[in-house]
Amino acid sequence: MGEMSEDTAAEPGGAAAELGSPERLVALSDGVYAIAITLLVLDIKLPPDLDKAEFEAALRGVWPSLGAYGLSFAVLAGYWRDQRRIVQQVRCCDTLMIRVALAGLGLVALLPFPTSVLSEYGGSFPEAVALYAATIAGIALLHLALFLLAWRRPHLMAAPLSDRAGWDTVIELASIVPVAVVSVAVAFAVSTSAALWTWLAAIPLKYLLRRLASGRGRI
């Protein structure tokens, strides 16, 4: 993406602004998210040459993988939408923003691994839930950092954002972190199955926060 200083990033027509253009970061993000979503399904398959009984048993056994895939697909779709909305509100990205965005994309690319671990061991080992939750929370925190870097430096923004709209976005981006923490606590204290159900709370929670913030000019 290129290195630039904050001063050169503030120059709309400069070469640094072109190197740090949000369009390039959006294009890179789209590619990484597309690959990560595709990798989620590679482990979902049935062995060949099964008889009827073996086929039915294998089909029943694939449901945990399908559940983990569905959860991760929903999470990645939400994060992809969040990152696009953040980056598209800036007129140029400086070095720090690019580094934070790349760190987030690194965790996105990693997500198929904890998803696979969750599908194989999430029903038995709380550590599998903890690994998945840590990855998801890490992406959320890096998205939050990316937004704060843009919001708190107006020279990077394409248009001003009010404090109310900014805090609405902060709350929405951070909302999945307590869900992740609670899921880990439930996994160790209650059961891994109960912990997995807590992740379902993240979807309506983000939707509710988005609805409450609608019409306030937020990202």
**Mean pLDDT of successive 10-residue stretches along the chain, which has 219 residues:** 42 45 90 94 80 82 85 91 91 91 96 92 89 95 95 88 85 88 92 83 71 58
Q: Is residue 2 part of a domain?
A: no
Three-state DSSP class for residue 160: coil
Measured CA to CA in angstroms, residue 79 lies from 35, 61, 162 at distances of 14, 29, 23
Q: Is residue 44 part of a domain?
A: yes
Q: Is residue 47 part of a domain?
A: yes
Q: Is residue 167 part of a domain?
A: yes
Could you identify the residue written with the tokens 């696009």? Answer: 84
Q: Is residue 218 part of a domain?
A: no
Q: Is residue 1 part of a domain?
A: no
Domain count, the chain: 1
3-state helix, strand, coil in the chain (%, to 5): 75, 0, 25
Q: Is residue 113 part of a domain?
A: yes
Please give the distance of CA 212 from its chain centroid, rounded to a whole number: 21
Number of residues written out for the chain: 219
Domain that includes residue 113, residue range:
9-213
Q: What is the pLDDT of residue 214?
A: 61
Q: What is the pLDDT of residue 164?
A: 83
Could you identify the residue written with the tokens 């690194």? Answer: 106
What sign results for the dihedral spanned by CA atoms 69, 30, 165, 104?
Answer: positive
Q: Is residue 151 part of a domain?
A: yes
